[in-house]
């Protein structure tokens, strides 16, 4: 059920108390005992950080966490295409690892995530003062709701230490005014304690908790936290990653449709009914027709004439595409390559003979998406580059399909944050690293259980992994193929030591300090307690 998303969309923003200098917005304060008079008002506060998370974690049209984790890595890019997409070279700087401390692409995620932490802090602080029994709720509900908000806040911090490293820790609205930088290890320990102290107070995942922080979401966060512990703290936590992953895989944390399990349908975890996919553990929930609230990715991924391709009512800005080397990383027999991308001649929805026409370099000519990013219309050959694109350059995003405007569930796709497939991969990777980065039969079995869905029976027989073929480099490549577009690629590359050392398409290796982004200069200027990351 997605009823919870209606609360926040209909009741609007719940305002905060005054903020610290981690975020420049100032909000009016409200008196908790006067505002929270019933369940609806409580839930509006609880759900506000969830609706806000849509802005910073998904591929919505914001400078956000998703863009930093994907546009800097080896699978997608936002190249200039003729007269479109240069945008002050900000996307080129991300691709080349040449970002600056003043770039909005760096400042945007910082501001948005800290605002989300502010929402969480405000909710916790307010609801701890409310007599739940007096307003018709129970003490157990209060315990569960506060636990949920604390785990949600920990997830915000998890994403902050991923991209910025050493950051402040703030748990009280407005204080301290200039919070000091804490080490990554200190922040890691805070996240771990917050989740572990509260995860067993959370409810198991069920259909009634779509988009909420359940026990499944909490253990998925721990699985990610421990998988990255060696990078983030210097100390590996492989056994803890395996234990957290096993909680989910063994069925102890619930599911949206029975216990969580791998979904055999390649589209189901991302489709308009993905709130019912047994694969999904945590997602940002949307319902366009019920709440005028949708995952608006068309500007980022769709062509100027995309509505003719999809039969929808919207076009896009023709921005993000797949880099050639990432598209080539899939075998032609891989169903993910066949289903999750658009390539080749594009036809009008429902037709196999009436082509969609281009509007720029291929104006009034059939629109043919090609894997290369170069000036093919001018006869260019070679690898091309970030300023050499055309309107048809690059394979296109097709992982989330929104249906038709006449459908009851049109554009009701939730944005998936964790799926059980990732839990299988995390456990397998932890086992592999424990074994000196050599696959064991258990590692191979875990990954094969996932990829058997990605090939026909005949093709799987020749593509299944063995101990010999599942090398660390192949493991990273396979993670990329499975989680393309899901906002995870940079984090994976950093963990495998490839983010600053690898070459892909036209990208060349950079310096080790680029594994972290800088603290925005605007924050350094207003908060003397914050220290800049090395190399900036």
Tell me the per-residue pLDDT of 459-499, one tens digit each, with 9 for 90 and over.
Answer: 999 999 999 999 999 999 999 999 999 999 999 999 999 99
Q: Is the pTM of this model over 0.85?
A: yes
Question: Whole-number mean pLDDT of the chain?
Answer: 94
> CB-based contacts of 67: which residues, under 8 Å, 6+ apart?
59, 94, 105, 109
* Domains observed in the chain: 37-201 (1.25.40.390), 202-285+414-454 (1.25.40.10), 297-397 (no CATH)
Q: What band does 297 get if pLDDT is binned at 50, 70 and 90?
A: very high
The Cα 35–Cα 170 span in angstroms is 24
pLDDT reported for residue 20: 53
| Assigned token pair, 8 | 């926040």
Count CB neighbours of 221 within 10 A: 26
The answer to whether residues 354 and 366 touch, using CB atoms and an 8 Å cutoff, is no
pLDDT reported for residue 35: 81
> What percent of the chain is predicted at pLDDT more than 90?
92
pLDDT reported for residue 13: 41
Helices (H) and strands (E) in the chain, counts: 22, 8
Q: What is the mean pLDDT of residues 194-223?
A: 98
Q: How far is CA 215 from CA 174, 238, 244, 258, in A?
A: 30, 20, 11, 14
**Residue 442 φ then ψ, to 5°:** -65, -40
The answer to whether residues 59 and 487 touch, using CB atoms and an 8 Å cutoff, is yes
What is the DSSP pairing of strand 76-77 with strand 321-322? antiparallel
Residues paired with 507 in a beta bridge: 504
pLDDT reported for residue 32: 61
User: Does residue 418 have a pLDDT over 90?
Assistant: yes
Tell me the per-residue pLDDT of 311-355, one tens digit each, with 9 for 90 and over.
Answer: 999 999 999 999 999 999 999 999 999 999 999 999 999 999 999
Residues across the chain? 536
Decide: residue 534, CB within 10 A, 0-12 exposed, 13-18 middle, 19+ buried: exposed
What is the DSSP pairing of strand 341-342 with strand 396-397? antiparallel
């Amino acid at each position: 059920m997605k009823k919870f998303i209606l609360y926040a969309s209909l009741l609007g923003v719940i305002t905060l108390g005054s903020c610290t200098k981690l975020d420049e917005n100032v909000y009016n304060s409200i008196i908790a005992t006067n505002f929270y008079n019933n369940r609806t008002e409580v839930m509006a506060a609880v759900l506000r950080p969830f609706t806000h998370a849509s802005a910073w974690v998904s591929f919505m049209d914001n400078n956000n966490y998703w863009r930093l984790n994907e546009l800097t890595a080896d699978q997608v890019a936002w190249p200039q295409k003729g007269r479109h997409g240069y945008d002050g070279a900000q996307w080129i700087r991300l691709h080349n690892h040449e970002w600056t401390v003043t770039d909005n692409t760096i400042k945007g995620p910082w501001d948005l995530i800290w605002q989300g932490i502010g929402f969480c802090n405000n909710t916790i602080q307010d609801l701890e003062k409310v007599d739940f029994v007096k307003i018709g709720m129970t003490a157990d509900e209060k315990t569960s709701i506060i636990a949920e908000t604390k785990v949600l806040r920990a997830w915000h911090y998890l994403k902050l230490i991923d991209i910025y490293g050493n950051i402040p820790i703030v748990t009280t609205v407005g204080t301290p005014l200039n919070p000091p930088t804490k080490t990554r290890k200190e922040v890691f320990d805070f996240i771990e304690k917050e989740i572990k102290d509260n995860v067993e107070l959370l409810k198991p995942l069920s259909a009634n908790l779509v988009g909420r922080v359940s026990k499944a979401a909490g253990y998925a966060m721990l699985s990610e936290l421990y998988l990255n512990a060696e990078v983030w703290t210097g100390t590996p936590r492989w056994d803890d990653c395996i234990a957290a992953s096993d909680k989910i895989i063994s069925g102890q944390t619930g599911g949206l449709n029975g216990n969580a399990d791998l979904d055999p349908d390649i589209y189901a975890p991302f489709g308009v009914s993905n709130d019912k996919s047994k694969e999904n553990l945590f997602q940002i929930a949307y319902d366009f027709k019920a709440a005028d609230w949708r995952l608006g990715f068309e500007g980022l991924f769709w062509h100027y004439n995309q509505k003719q391709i999809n039969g929808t009512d919207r076009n896009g800005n023709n921005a993000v595409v797949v880099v050639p080397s990432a598209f080539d990383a899939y075998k032609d027999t891989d169903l993910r390559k066949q289903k999750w991308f658009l390539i080749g001649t594009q036809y009008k929805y429902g037709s196999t003979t009436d082509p969609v026409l281009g509007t720029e370099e291929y104006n009034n000519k059939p629109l043919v998406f090609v894997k290369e990013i170069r000036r093919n219309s001018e006869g260019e050959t070679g690898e091309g580059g970030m300023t050499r694109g055309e309107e048809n350059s690059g394979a296109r995003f097709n992982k989330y399909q929104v249906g038709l405007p006449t459908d009851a569930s049109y554009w009701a796709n939730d944005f998936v944050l964790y799926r059980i497939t990732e839990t299988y991969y995390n456990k397998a990777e932890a086992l592999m690293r424990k074994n000196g980065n050599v696959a064991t039969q258990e590692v191979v079995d875990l990954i094969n259980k996932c990829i058997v869905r990605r090939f026909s029976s005949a093709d799987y027989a020749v593509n299944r992994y063995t101990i010999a073929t599942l090398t660390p480099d192949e493991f990273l490549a396979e993670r990329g193929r499975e989680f393309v577009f899901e906002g995870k690629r940079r984090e994976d590359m950093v963990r495998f030591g490839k983010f600053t050392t690898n070459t892909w398409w036209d990208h060349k290796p950079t310096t080790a300090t680029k594994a972290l982004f800088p603290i925005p200069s605007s924050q350094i200027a207003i908060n003397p307690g914050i220290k800049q990351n090395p190399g900036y």
